[in-house]
A = this chain, B = another copy of it.
Amino acid sequence: QSSVVVGGIVDSAVRYVHNEGGGSIKSLVSGSNQTSRLYFRGDEDLGGGLSAGFWLESGLNVDTGTSTGGTQFFDRRATLSLSSRGIGELRLGRDYVPTYTLWVRHDPFSHVGVAGSNNFSSSSQQGPIRSAFSTGPNTTVRSSNAVEYLLPSGLGGLEGGLTVAAGEGGSAANGQDKLIGGRIGWQSASLGVHASRVITSNDLTASGKFKDTLLAVNGTVGQVRMNAALRKYEQALSEETLLLLSTAATLGQVELKASYLRANMKGKVGTAAIDANDATQIGLGAVYSLSKRSALYVQGARINNDGKASFSIPGGTTMVAGGSSKALEAGVRHNF
């Protein structure tokens, strides 16, 4: 008897992006409210509070039919778990890193779409991410080859986890990083305080490990939630600090949300100073729920770059350094 749950999300939007110094581009995009995906998961009760489980999740672009991970088909998650109600969960495989797990909870745009906070966790320009991973896969979101331990639920709001990943003698270009990280926090219905740190070493970090540190708080009053999160990436002499302030309010079937994201670059990459290459993003959005599973949404964002920074909203033309990027999109999301 099959015990598999097949589920996922399809999400597509019409997007308009205008980058300073280039023209504008209209496109159909995928996953602007939540990433389009297909998953297979299941659990087995082993008795005595123990259970085994698996989760295989593949990202997809519903606009073109491509797999977001290419031949890394289950790019979003591939895990095997042994869980105990009292002791917690041992999880093996590919999964989110602890810093990201917390960060994304404080971004009402879920790290995707025109206003997602992912726009500033980019290897597109000089800084700690590019130095530590070049343009290959980085560990700001996920890690392969991970062994995780997660605290059980039911600890009065306390939550936490540890992750270690093997470097396997491989290369950052192949996504092989040695990683150690953890998170700890306390979350109630009205208040949350969280901290996390992840340290990554690979063949490109001989001059200093990549450090990813997060502090976040959230508070909910009635139908309004407010979030503040601070995340710092460091490698060798370069630093990137992100400040994310956001809010989301639910009014019947409508959710309104807004975020302010600031990237502060500091230090040097080689001999080049990057201190002036800061950037700011403002995002606004509204989601109208058609049902528990389906929704319409519209959202807009603007990025202003300082110095030689050239962060931009995906889907546009090449932008001039120090320029601005603005975008609008309207779409549909359907969970299945």
Contacts and interface: CB of A to CB of B under 8 A. Distances in A.
Interface residues of A, number: 70
B10 A2 contact: no
Interface string A36-58: 00101010101100101110101
B291 A54 contact: no
Closest 9 CB pairs of A and B: A65-B74, A65-B78, A64-B144, A28-B145, A12-B92, A52-B294, A27-B168, A10-B54, A10-B80
Interface in A170-216: 175
B4 A4 contact: no
A7 interface: yes
20 contacts: A4-B336, A10-B56, A12-B92, A12-B93, A14-B147, A25-B169, A27-B166, A27-B168, A28-B92, A28-B146, A44-B294, A52-B334, A53-B334, A54-B62, A54-B336, A58-B73, A62-B79, A63-B93, A65-B94, A92-B331
Given A6-B2, A44-B293, A94 B63 contact: yes
A80 B6 contact: no
Interface in A3-40: 3-8, 10-12, 14, 25-28, 38, 40
A237 interface: no
Contacts of A146: 28
B92 A332 contact: yes
Contact of A145 (B63, B165, B291): B63
B334 A40 contact: no
A40 B11 CA distance: 15
Given A62-B79, A169-B317, A290-B52, A4 B3 contact: no
A331 B92 CA distance: 9
A77 interface: yes
A78 B62 contact: yes
Contact of A93 (B4, B65, B82): B65
A70 interface: yes
A271 interface: no
Nearest to A71: B70
A72 interface: yes
Contacts of A6: 2, 4, 6, 40
A223 interface: no
A157 interface: no
A61 interface: yes
Contacts of A54: 10, 62, 334, 336
Given A56-B38, A168-B25, A293-B44, A332 B65 contact: no
